A = this chain, B = another copy of it.
Amino acid sequence: MGRAVGIRDVAEAAQVSVGTVSNALNKPDRVSPTTLARVLAVIDELGFVRNDLARQLKMGAGTTLGMIVLNVANPFFADLAHASEAAAEEAGQTVVLGSSDQLEAREDRYLDLFEEQRVRGMLVAPLDGITQRMRRLRARGMPLILFDIHADRDFCSVTLDGRAGGELVARHLIESGRRHIAFLGGPLHQVEDRWLGAQRVCAEHQGVRLTHVDTDDQTIADGRAAGAVIEAMPAAERPDAVFAANDLLALGVLQALVMSDQLSVPRDIAVVGYDDIDYAESAIVPLSTVRQSTGLLAEHAIRLVLDEADDPDHSHEQLKLSPELIVRESSSPR
């Protein structure tokens, strides 16, 4: 296996200069039809494949976007990544995905990696707010847009209005006759808005109690564990509604509660999730939840990151998208 065939080999075989080959590839209209045909034929014959590394190096600007999500195994982020990839393709960009797995070390690693890779910009769902590293990146001119974090004037962000979502859910539960809502999920700062929204609505209503049940992570397993805790509570202490910070938690709770013979959903306890992942609808008891359009989210994010990369006088935008309440059986009035 000889060396890889480069643009020079093509030039030689087609009896043109390397510049012409490059033009044939990138600006076909600057080349006469006959030579263009000849060059393309040779390219095909020799099996030439342009080296994008050299290309990007020379051109300065890459065509790759780096994306860091909290956990690809979480379907919300999987959807978001998928949608972003689609939106990026539309704009001729490629997305490289990294999963921080909620570990600061991994988040940092990807930030560094992407910077070394000279990505055109980054889309980050930050683990723990805006870090020093991110500020440094911004200072060096790296386009960096954030998902789902409260506004910061120095960054673009696309946020889902968690507060509005929290309000929707709390209002719905109260109107369905629930009086003690347990907000399930942690770490709290990651889901603070949802919590605050619920809190606000609950405060407006006499005799409604809101408590917080912490979890380590937001997986089905965590939800199941929390469900067991709730089930074991003395009846007087036990909430009559659970507002889970995401659907996975809610599914876990649901499962734990259904397993138990004493309690039934939604009769004794209503359960509402967040994200409207595909499985919410096909859960043991179809799950009420809050839907957020990952497609919309992704489109805005891609638009913003490219704008920040291209437009010299780009001004940061903090977008807030409104969620939608989806009521299913798990929170029917009793």
- Point out residues on A near B: beta carbons under 8 Å: 1, 4, 47, 49-54, 56-57, 62, 72-73, 75, 78-79, 81-82, 85, 94, 96-99, 112-113, 115-118, 136, 140-141, 219-220, 251-252, 254-255, 278-279, 281-284
Contacts and interface: CB of A to CB of B under 8 A. Distances in A.
A54 B57 contact: yes
A266 to B, nearest CB: 15
B51 A116 contact: yes
15 contacts: A4-B140, A49-B112, A49-B116, A51-B116, A53-B56, A54-B57, A72-B72, A72-B82, A73-B79, A73-B82, A85-B98, A97-B97, A254-B282, A282-B283, A283-B284
Contacts of A115: 49
Contact of A282 (B51, B85, B284): B284
Given A116-B52, A254-B282, A140 B47 contact: yes
Given A47-B136, A251-B279, 12 more contacts: A47-B140, A49-B112, A51-B118, A52-B117, A53-B56, A73-B82, A85-B98, A94-B113, A97-B97, A220-B279, A252-B282, A283-B284
Copies of this protein, total: 2
Nearest to A252: B282
A304 B197 CA distance: 50
Residue picked from A57, A75, A78, most chain B C-beta under 10 Å: A78
Contact of A85 (B4, B78, B99): B99
B251 A118 contact: no
Contact of A52 (B81, B96, B118): B118
Contacts of A255: 281-282
A270 B47 CA distance: 53
Nearest to A74: B78
Given A79-B73, A284-B284, A278 B116 contact: no
Residue picked from A47, A112, A279, most chain B C-beta under 10 Å: A279
Contact of A78 (B51, B73, B116): B73
A62 B4 CA distance: 14
A28 to B, nearest CB: 18
Contacts of A118: 51-53
A81 to B, nearest CB: 7
Contacts of A85: 72, 98-99
A81 B81 CA distance: 13
Contacts of A254: 282
Contact of A53 (B1, B57, B78): B57
Nearest to A4: B140
Nearest to A255: B282
Contacts of A112: 49
A53 B117 contact: yes
Chain A to chain B: the 3 pairs with minimum beta-carbon distance, closest first: A52-B116, A53-B57, A279-B279
Contacts of A220: 278-279, 281-282
A99 B82 contact: yes
Contacts of A141: 1
A259 to B, nearest CB: 10
Contacts of A1: 141
A171 to B, nearest CB: 27
